[in-house]
A and B are shown apart, each in its own frame.
Chain A
């Protein structure tokens, strides 16, 4: 982006931003309420409220609200926010608008580890960890790849080389997954295919807490970087002249972005589109490239769109669930195309 355009976009009127933020916050809150309210089993509002205020009451509705709907609602909002911020960071890093959080092979890393657990008999040796085995494996895969990317980034300064290295890592992991799938038992493949489509279904409270605490810390750290990120938008030389240690800063961006994406993938499987499209939508709706504004904006918009997609995935053919990634792509891609065309015409 041209330096002058960036400067001008950094000075968008505050009143408009405030309005957009207020609207987004309201919509996120409404969407979360809607996700709690609507489900494949319908309950009257008073019963739902009663269940919400009595978490320990032993009833069907209390169990469903507190163990199924609420964790899922929170997880979808958090997951959307994390993916959007992860994508935004990488788009600034690579100065490439079509980059998303999975471009560096993070989801492939998760997938290969989950395939090891789901498609082989390795998991049988760890039956004590059964409910969390996939999450643990996915976490290992995502952060294994993250560590490799950071190691490569220490040695390689060129962003394009890093991008290609990430893509190659994705191919390698994909190859291992393909071999495991080819050799797998038929009855295990369907579960694995479903996992690859991503879902916030079946979230446990422990997972929500991990997402909240770890993701919250990562988000906080990211926000502290918003000023140097703005400086990076104007070029590495400019950022360096402002006192930014470019090498360390690049590593930090990669670490934060990969960690956020890895966290979501570990818990929910790969969720497509959000990380790539939401940063665009945020820029266009807020009319700025100022990362101090974009970061919270992307959080809100990511949470809103992911929650909406999750609601559609759950309710369109209820009680049948549709793959979340299909909905995110189906719902969001036309919006991005429209917004980009609109901007192009202007």
Chain B
């Protein structure tokens, strides 16, 4: 009896092993690690038999299939994407950076900002070569222009364009969600995009690089005094801040600092009461403004001039520190690890001696006096 059971089990195991080996041989990629189900915030990547099922930011399920393969049942033709994608239109600068991180910047054929708004060399070059086209404002794209670019995929934040693109046969993936992006999702978003381009290994490598930077930040800032930090701005009379569930707020916490709007929950950039902003501002030591120098953030005095109320917050005083993002900051998602390190270096300059700022600028107390040339 025992012997029979043993023989049966051995036969089953051998058959399973044989079938597994055969399957691996058929795919021709036996060494490739099998990707498992991934939840990336609101997004997910779920490898199935013969295709990969992804859930986008709008909760839609898309099937990623190999080029020329049969589409799986249960998916509308517009929800099937042939991979690797060779031509893509991207709405946000964030995704453009991710393409660079995956090593496929040449797949970009359409963007929603004209050439002069881009500070990335790869995008400018794409415009100059005629590969990349400006397809109109993101709030009102030109569908004819998109169609003319023959994209395999459009990456967008705007679900309202889906019916129109469905009708012209262009698959769409929604890359934003109704909730603020947490740090983990922000870092792992690359792993959501990677399967569209067959670049899972590069996606993993990029994530590992960012995760390593984060680990170093944790170690380097361990036990340091915790500065009080605020991130937001007053636009005329309305106050907008980064909520506590946003990735920057999480990063600030991980880098041994106190984010003063930790209790605010919402989508990225949310309006709060003026009195709360001023009250928290009295405790803050470091203040990140949304405004770039081009939008008036040239000095503490300039910010106070724009909004007299803001003059009351501690960072605008002589001992406080105020930082403004530089124009290329929002287009540098492929350098997320460097951005994380830079924010950490701002929070704890003593842990990063000699760090040169490249994504933010520290605002001086007053604007430098302009000296007119005599000649």
Interface 9-residue window, one of A92-100, A234-242, A284-292, A317-325: A317-325
C-alpha spacing A274/B139, complex, angstroms: 31
Query: Hey, what's the 0/1 contact readout for B113-126 against A, CB within 8 Å counting as 1?
Result: 00000000000000
B273 with A319: CB separation less than 8 A: yes
Fill in one digit per residue for B202-246: 1 if any A CB lies within 8 Å of its CB, else 0. Answer: 000000000000000000000000000000001111111000000
Assess the A320–B272 pair: CB atoms within 8 A. Answer: yes
With beta carbons under 8 angstroms apart, the residue of B139, B239, B261, B273 that contacts A39 is B273
Residues of A within 8 A of B237 (CB): 134, 199, 201-203
User: Which residues of A are at the interface with B, using a C-beta cutoff of 8 A?
Assistant: 39-41, 60, 63-64, 67-69, 118, 127, 130-131, 134, 181-183, 186-191, 194-195, 199, 201-204, 314, 318-321
A314 CA / B238 CA spacing, docked (Å): 12
Q: Are A68 and B236 in contact (CB under 8 A)?
A: no
Within 8 A of A (CB), among B251-279: 261, 263-266, 269-276, 278-279
Q: Of A63, A187, A195, which one neighbours B290 at CB under 8 angstroms?
A: A187
B374 within 8 A of A: no
For the A-B complex with A63-B278, A68-B278 known, give 13 more contacts whose Cβ atoms are closer than 8 Å.
A40-B275, A127-B306, A131-B307, A182-B137, A190-B235, A191-B235, A194-B235, A194-B240, A201-B237, A202-B238, A203-B237, A318-B276, A321-B238
Flag if B271 contacts A69 (CB, 8 Å): no
Closest chain A residue to B309, Cβ basis = A202
Q: Which residues of B contact A69 (CB under 8 A)?
A: 275
Interchain CA distance A130-B269 in the complex, whole Å: 22
A-B contact pairs, 18 of them (CB 8 A): A39-B273, A39-B275, A41-B276, A63-B312, A64-B275, A68-B278, A130-B296, A131-B306, A182-B140, A187-B292, A187-B295, A189-B139, A190-B240, A202-B238, A202-B274, A319-B276, A320-B272, A321-B273
Q: Is the CB of B290 within 8 A of A318?
A: no
Whether B235 and A127, one on each chain, are in contact in the complex, defined by CB atoms closer than 8 angstroms, is no
The answer to whether B295 touches A201, judged by C-beta atoms less than 8 angstroms apart, is no
Classify chain B's interface size.
Answer: 35 or more
For A195, list chain B residues within 8 Å (CB): 236, 238
Q: Which residues of A contact B271 (CB under 8 A)?
A: 194, 320-321
B305 within 8 A of A: yes
B296 surroundings in chain A (CB, below 8 A): 127, 130
Give the residues in chain A near B60, CB-CB below 8 Å: none
Of residues 282 through 323 on chain B, the ones whose CB sits less than 8 Å from some CB of chain A are 282, 290, 292, 295-296, 305-309, 312
**Across-interface contacts of A319 in B (CB, < 8 A):** 261, 263-264, 272-273, 276
Which residues of B lie under 8 Å from residue A130 when comparing CB positions?
296, 305-307
> A40 CA to B296 CA in the complex, in Å?
29
Asked if B361 is at the interface of the complex by the 8 Å CB criterion, the answer is no
Is B138 positioned at the interface, with any CB of A under 8 Å from its CB? Answer: yes
Contacting residues, chain A, for B265 (C-beta < 8 A)? 320
Q: Given A60-B279, A182-B140, A320-B264, decide whether A201 and B273 contact each other with a Cβ distance below 8 A.
A: yes
In the docked arrangement, what's the CA distance between A321 and B241, Å? Answer: 11
Instruction: Name A322's closest neighbour in chain B (CB-CB).
Output: B271
* Cα separation A183 to B139 with both chains bound (whole Å): 10
Report the nearest A residue to B271, measured CB to CB: A321
Contact call A320/B236, Cβ cutoff below 8 A: no
Residue of A nearest to B237 (CB): A202
Compute how far the CA of A294 lies from the CA of B290 in the bound complex, rounded to whole angstroms.
47
Q: Which residues of B contact A320 (CB under 8 A)?
A: 264-266, 270-272
Residues of A within 8 A of B261 (CB): 319
Contacts of B270 in A (CB 8 A): 320
Decide: B239 and A201 in contact? CB cutoff 8 A. yes
Which residues in A have their C-beta under 8 angstroms from that of B278? 63-64, 68
- Closest chain A residue, CB of each to CB of B234: A202
Q: Are A199 and B238 in contact (CB under 8 A)?
A: yes
Q: Is the CB of B275 within 8 A of A41?
A: yes
CA A186 – CA B269 in complex, angstroms?
A: 13
